[in-house]
Structure 1
Amino acid sequence: MESAGIAEEDDDEEALVGSPRKRKKKPIVVYDIVYSPSYRVPVLYLTLKHAPGANIYELLVPVSHQPQMQNTGLSGSLSLTDHPVTGLPVYFVHPCRTAEAMAAVRGVSSEGPIEYLMLWFGLVGSSVGLAVPVALAEALRR
């Protein structure tokens, strides 16, 4: 029904009412792995996007890993540093005990680089929510 040239609003339930709300962006974590010649192990760097003021331990570290991550070193296993490639500030999993932990897991076996990285992902990556998809791990075993 129209009256004086003004159309009645229709009852479209899917119509936008007012201005659309800005959707809150979910945090994104960018993981970089860079080999450290001084520690002689891969080092995991993490960049958080869309997470201002987020507590990295609460956001990324599984509850089962939090005590050991927070109690290692002066400020925990996660620290801030400059990214070795970009120069931007990032978090990183401190590598000081990586070689020792890898030796304990590997024992005396000597596997190749792929097997080493799969173990490294399990040890270091799992502490901050990074894992190799099962399908990829299975494909790499062949």
Structure 2
Amino acid sequence: MVDGTLSWTDFLSEAREFLHLSEQLGDGWTLCEKDGNEPNTFLSCKRKVRSKDNGTLSTLISVEYHVVFSVSYQVPMLFFQAHRSDGSLLDVDATWRAFMPEARERSDLFQMLTQMDHPVLFRPFMALHPCRTSDVLAQFGKKSENRILTFISVYGPHVQLNLQNAYGNAIKCK
């Protein structure tokens, strides 16, 4: 069975590979490095997305996405902040309505989307909980050449982080 975890050095290497591909595609990702210590480097991108309130397209919001390394779970983790056009931050309930209107039960939401301090910036961000990420990444049967790319491809669409189809050409299996 394939192990879905990765080391800090693997995360850095695969994040840099992902960044190189993003640069080739002009997709706007950056690598933010606070310092050389673990885990003070993360991928970041900003997007404008339409919030899905009550199943209809409504307002345009600005979202900043970060892919960070979870030291506890040894997997990539997706953090994000969403702001309205007036600059105000979406609270937890507004975020759930905007990004996960299909979730029926509050308990379902708490299991996948939560607010927590960003492990590098030490301020509140929304996050997709990493507890099942290793299992999800291991389900592919073969080890992805770039688990960051696989992770974003699988988890990103849940919060309107969609990669260009051209990224799919870069996925290889070992």
Residue in 1 that maps onto 2:126: 91
* Structure 2 spans left out of the alignment, 5+ residues: 1-58
Change (3 A) 1:134 1:70: farther
Length-normalised TM-score, structure 2 = 0.54
Instruction: Name the amino acid aligned to 1:93.
Output: L
Q: Determine what percentage of the aligned residue pairs are the same residue.
A: 25
Residue in 2 that maps onto 1:56: 95
Change (3 A) 1:69 1:30: farther
Q: Deviations over 1:84-117 (max 9, x none)?
A: 111111100000011112112x12x12312xx23
Residue in 1 that maps onto 2:145: 112
C-alpha separation in 2, matches of 1:126 and 1:27 = 16
C-alpha separation in 2, matches of 1:70 and 1:127 = 17
Is the CA contact 1:62–1:127 (under 8 Å) kept in the aligned structure 2?
no
CA drift at 1:80: 0.7
Instruction: Name the amino acid aligned to 2:127.
Output: F
C-alpha separation in 2, matches of 1:133 and 1:83 = 26
Q: Identify, as 1 or 2, the structure richer in strand.
A: 2
C-alpha separation in 2, matches of 1:124 and 1:31 = 12
Q: How many residues align?
A: 109
C-alpha separation in 1, matches of 2:168 and 2:95 = 27
Is the CA contact 1:62–1:128 (under 8 Å) kept in the aligned structure 2?
no
Instruction: Name the amino acid aligned to 2:164.
Output: P
Whether 2:108 is the aligned partner of 1:71: answer yes
Residue in 1 that maps onto 2:115: 80
Residue in 2 that maps onto 1:43: 77
Residue in 2 that maps onto 1:18: none
Bigger relative contact order (CA 8 A; separation at least 6): 2
Residue in 2 that maps onto 1:101: 136
- Structure 1 residue matching 2:72: 3-state secondary structure: coil
Whether 2:68 is the aligned partner of 1:34: answer yes
| C-alpha RMSD of the superposition | 2.6
C-alpha separation in 1, matches of 2:90 and 2:150 = 32
Is the CA contact 1:118–1:132 (under 8 Å) kept in the aligned structure 2?
no
- Structure 1 residue matching 2:116: 3-state secondary structure: strand
CA drift at 1:55: 1.5
Instruction: Name the amino acid aligned to 2:145.
Output: G
Residue in 2 that maps onto 1:134: 165
> Structure 1 residues 126-135 or 85-94, which shifts more?
126-135
Spell out structure 1 runs of 4+ moving beyond 4 A. Answer: 51-54, 67-70
C-alpha separation in 2, matches of 1:37 and 1:30 = 22
Change (3 A) 1:141 1:94: closer
Instruction: Name the amino acid aligned to 1:80.
Output: Q
Length-normalised TM-score, structure 1 = 0.64
